[in-house]
Structure 1
Amino acid sequence: MRSRPRVLATLAAVAALALLVAGCGAAPGLSTSDERLQVVATTGLLRDLVANVGGARVNAVSLIPDGGDPHSFEPTLRDVRDVVYADVAFSNYMLLEQHSVIKTLDANLGADVPNISLAEDSVKYAAEIIPLVENVNLDTVWLGLRARGDGARHGADRSSDVLLSATAATGPGEVFGYLTGSFGEADVSFNSADGFDASDGFEHDTATLPADAHTHMSWVFTAPGRYTVTFAASLRVSATSRPIPLGEATFAFAVGVEPTAAGGADAVVLDQGHADLTADLDRGELYTLYDPEGGGEHAQRRYRADEVVIEVPSKAIAEIPAGEQFSFMGKAGTQIYQLPQAVLGKHVHGEIDPHLWQDVRNAMAYSELIRDTLIEADPRGAREYRANAEAYLAQLDALDRYVRRTIAAIPRARRQLVTTHDAFAYLAHAYGVEVAGFVTPNPAVEPSLAQRRKLTETIRNLRVPAVFLEPNLAARSSTLTEVAREQGIRVCPIYGDSFDGDVTTYVQLMRFNAASLKECLS
């Protein structure tokens, strides 16, 4: 039986949608009048896999439209309607999708509706998962936020929220923390200029993460000097529960001054690699995780907040970008000190790379799991689902051989992939490609000369003949296109998370990527 909060949320969404539909006419999507199995998937790619396995017995829709960014998409009321009417739901998860997408699924599905996380559950079908390793080539420390642990002892699940709230700041200027999305929009997490107010349960000046997740962020300081920022962490298990306190800590920043002046002679200076301000759900405390080499969580060492000082050096000087979305920082062109968010777009993730489908063998595991899920939900269609899956798996097996054969035709020394988004580790691992680098600086701010130099040196040293852009991110990738033009090399398309008007199926996506790599690198 559904819990009362879920029932109320669902009824409210359906009632509101009924008014919308009555005024505008029925929108395409799932419908109770359709006798087919109603399936909702998070992405168009998963929708395509479901359609191939389900065939005529299934009506499949996706919450995230083709061309949308799974890392930042926000569901609409129409999407809630599709979830409410669904008989089966599929997400990729492993923190691929924006947290609000997952919460929309989990809060509005019927209690008995299968809700499948394909990336996790396909491991039972021999899918191979690999760690997410982010070796970010910035000339300052890469500072993020992390929620460590799953919070199971508090009753948390994948819909729970970890709240990291800025509650106080000191220093000669203002402090801002924000994310720049894939299309240039600014999502402000905290802003000292308008004060801090935790009276509403840490909803103001707060970054929200799923449990066991990490996010990138830009950190801005408006004047040089010593700063401190105090954070409080809490865990909200469900939308109706009160936050559970996880601790508080104050972190020191040396902005354009000697770090010892801000943190003392014995302080550990965080000046390169990867650092996270971390809320530990199991220990109930806040601390810093740091690895100067830029590895993942398991390479990071834990330090108390009072043991470290975070350096924001003079080479981090930038200007406030033009555009209304950045006006919260002040007048465009004004000098600021900024630690960039490191990775293009809004990108919350865990320790496992979620882009499993870039290895066709993993997509085959997804398809087998989809087949068995549909059979369990609709036993009368078992024969049809098995036949569809057998035919599609044969098609995917041929696709895997095509991708392998096509990429193998590229001289090994030229199989170097430089792109915008770190989404191709599975492609590299499965088919013998080397991920030489990806563009990391904040897309709203002019990259430093050092960042451009590193990218240029990578291209020169490896004699890379082309760089690759995802079509839905190309508009925000001026650094890569400019360096490519300066070096006289090609800029070629590659597809990661999303379809568009030219590539509308998974098979097309993988064939296109293989052909693009061969044409541009050979």
Structure 2
Amino acid sequence: MKIESNRTLKLLTWLFTFSLLLPYIACASTTNKKLAVVTTVAPLANIVRNVGIPYVDIAGIVPDGTDSHTFEPTPADAKILQAADLIIVNGLDLELPTVKLAQKVKKAETPILQLGNQTLSREEWQYDFSYPRDEGYPNPHLWLNIALVMRYVEIIRDNLSKLDPINTTGYFANAAAYLAKLEKLDNKIFQCVASIPEQNRKLVTYHDSFAYFAPRYGVTVIAALQPSDFSEPGPREIISIIKQIKKEKVPAIFGSEVFPSKVMAQIAREANVKFVDQLSDDELPPPPNDSFIGMMANNLAIMTEALGGNSACITDIDASNLF
């Protein structure tokens, strides 16, 4: 009987001790739970990963190489958005269907962080060839301007730290290391553009991606062919662009694999200039340079060489990810 009594006493003591510890165990398990962060386009998802990993779980719902402007989220994406603790989008109306869906399905306490809207005031939004002001949608491609990306990183860092304060030191350390890499990239872009003959620092693109890139780095966007409804340009527009290319003596025009266009090749033949269809604004290159910085380095090498500059300017860019 004494043995049974002792066992009962030990069990009751253990249960009492466990009940006292239970709140602390629950608190620890909650603290160690990673934030579920959902992002959209591949460059943005990569930037968030460099700031957040290993402290957060990150899902990018726009597949790499997909036209982000016409992307429609699926029911599977709705489930991902529903489970998110933080939703990070570029903003400036780039991901309207995704934002509308997120507002319907997300948890009440889950914020939607629109980076572009926090980076630029409305007065600084760009309207141009594919994004005319009278249609109301601004050009959203802020991430091709590295100074603006550095602001993105700071906003991401601060919001992750706010939601997950126990890992603040980690977020700030990641952000500092990544900002240093971005600053080197920014300087390299200036060097690359400086190597291009001044009269050649002109861009004719299919998709209008470089509205924020051009003024920072001393390049002029002469034209973008893709209309605002993402169709092909009509004959009148094509003739006008050919005349403009000849007048400006542009050495090359640029397309994108995401936006294939037979019209660009035709224009290049008519204007007697190079046609390069490898620029990217939202598709990352293959490993080992599968990063936002790797994408920008590829763009710079392609653009610089086609416009008569020295593409060796980017040979020592570190395109590796922090994670």
Amino acid at match of 1:494: L
Secondary structure of the residue aligned to 1:61 is strand
Amino acid at match of 2:262: S
Out of 107, 110, 115, which is 1:113 matched to?
110
| Equivalent residue number for residue 367 of structure 1 | 153
Change (3 A) 1:84 1:134: same
For residues 287-325 of structure 1, give each alpha carbon's deviation from its aligned partner in whole angstroms, at most 9, with x where no partner exists.
xxxxxxxx734xxxxxxxxxxxxxxxxxxxxxxxxxxxx
| Equivalent residue number for residue 216 of structure 2 | 430
Determine the C-alpha separation between the residues in 2 that align with 1:356 and 1:445. Answer: 24
For residues 7-47 of structure 1, give each alpha carbon's deviation from its aligned partner in whole angstroms, at most 9, with x where no partner exists.
xxxxxxxxxxxxxxxxxxxxxxxxx9x94221100211111
Q: Structure 1 residue 72 and structure 2 residue 66: aligned? A: no
For residues 457-493 of structure 1, give each alpha carbon's deviation from its aligned partner in whole angstroms, at most 9, with x where no partner exists.
111111111110121102xx11111121233322222
Kept in 2, the 8 Å contact 1:96–1:349? The answer is: no
Q: Structure 1 residue 514 and structure 2 residue 300: aligned? A: yes
Q: Structure 1 residue 296 and structure 2 residue 133: aligned? A: yes
1:501 Cα deviation (Å)?
4.2
Structure-to-structure mapping, 1:363-402, within 5 angstroms: 363-402=149-188
Q: Structure 1 residue 447 and structure 2 residue 284: aligned? A: no
Change (3 A) 1:367 1:463: same
Per residue, is there more helix in 1 or in 2? 2
1:129 Cα deviation (Å)?
7.0
1:443 Cα deviation (Å)?
7.3
| Equivalent residue number for residue 269 of structure 2 | 485
1:500 Cα deviation (Å)?
5.5
Determine the C-alpha separation between the residues in 2 that align with 1:417 and 1:86. Answer: 39
| Equivalent residue number for residue 132 of structure 1 | 126
1:115 Cα deviation (Å)?
1.5
For residues 407-454 of structure 1, give each alpha carbon's deviation from its aligned partner in whole angstroms, at most 9, with x where no partner exists.
111111101100111121111011011101111468767832x33321
Unaligned runs of 5+ in 1: 1-31, 137-213, 215-294, 298-347
| Equivalent residue number for residue 203 of structure 2 | 417
Determine the C-alpha separation between the residues in 2 that align with 1:81 and 1:468. Answer: 38
Kept in 2, the 8 Å contact 1:129–1:353? The answer is: no
Amino acid at match of 1:71: H
1:122 Cα deviation (Å)?
2.7
Kept in 1, the 8 Å contact 2:142–2:149? The answer is: yes
| Equivalent residue number for residue 104 of structure 1 | 101
1:378 Cα deviation (Å)?
0.8
Structure-to-structure mapping, 1:102-501, within 5 angstroms: 102-123=99-120, 130-135=124-129, 296-297=133-134, 350=137, 352-440=138-226, 447-448=234-235, 450-474=236-260, 477-492=261-276, 493-499=278-284, 501=286
Determine the C-alpha separation between the residues in 1 that align with 2:233 and 2:147. Answer: 40
For residues 123-142 of structure 1, give each alpha carbon's deviation from its aligned partner in whole angstroms, at most 9, with x where no partner exists.
4xxx9973333358xxxxxx
Identity percentage of aligned residues:
32
Secondary structure of the residue aligned to 2:222 is strand
Amino acid at match of 2:115: L
Change (3 A) 1:511 1:128: farther
For residues 140-160 of structure 1, give each alpha carbon's deviation from its aligned partner in whole angstroms, at most 9, with x where no partner exists.
xxxxxxxxxxxxxxxxxxxxx
Secondary structure of the residue aligned to 1:113 is coil
| Equivalent residue number for residue 190 of structure 1 | none
Kept in 1, the 8 Å contact 2:265–2:275? The answer is: yes
Change (3 A) 1:509 1:478: same
Secondary structure of the residue aligned to 1:95 is coil
Change (3 A) 1:131 1:87: closer
Kept in 2, the 8 Å contact 1:128–1:362? The answer is: no
Secondary structure of the residue aligned to 2:153 is helix
Amino acid at match of 2:157: R
| Equivalent residue number for residue 59 of structure 1 | 57
Determine the C-alpha separation between the residues in 2 that align with 1:460 and 1:106. Answer: 48
Change (3 A) 1:415 1:36: same
Determine the C-alpha separation between the residues in 2 that align with 1:128 and 1:428. Answer: 19
Determine the C-alpha separation between the residues in 2 that align with 1:446 and 1:37. Answer: 44
Determine the C-alpha separation between the residues in 2 that align with 1:445 and 1:428. Answer: 24
| Equivalent residue number for residue 46 of structure 2 | 48
1:497 Cα deviation (Å)?
3.2
Amino acid at match of 1:53: V
Structure-to-structure mapping, 1:82-97, within 5 angstroms: 82-97=80-95
Amino acid at match of 1:457: K
Deviates most, 436-445 or 375-384: 436-445
Determine the C-alpha separation between the residues in 2 that align with 1:42 and 1:389. Answer: 20
Kept in 2, the 8 Å contact 1:66–1:500? The answer is: no
Change (3 A) 1:108 1:456: same
Q: Give the TM-score, by structure 1 length.
A: 0.50
Determine the C-alpha separation between the residues in 2 that align with 1:424 and 1:446. Answer: 19
Bigger Rg, which one: 2
Determine the C-alpha separation between the residues in 1 that align with 2:106 and 2:52. Answer: 20
Amino acid at match of 1:296: R
Kept in 1, the 8 Å contact 2:51–2:157? The answer is: yes
| Equivalent residue number for residue 311 of structure 1 | none
Per residue, is there more strand in 1 or in 2? 1
Kept in 2, the 8 Å contact 1:402–1:511? The answer is: no
1:54 Cα deviation (Å)?
0.7
Unaligned runs of 5+ in 2: 1-29, 309-323
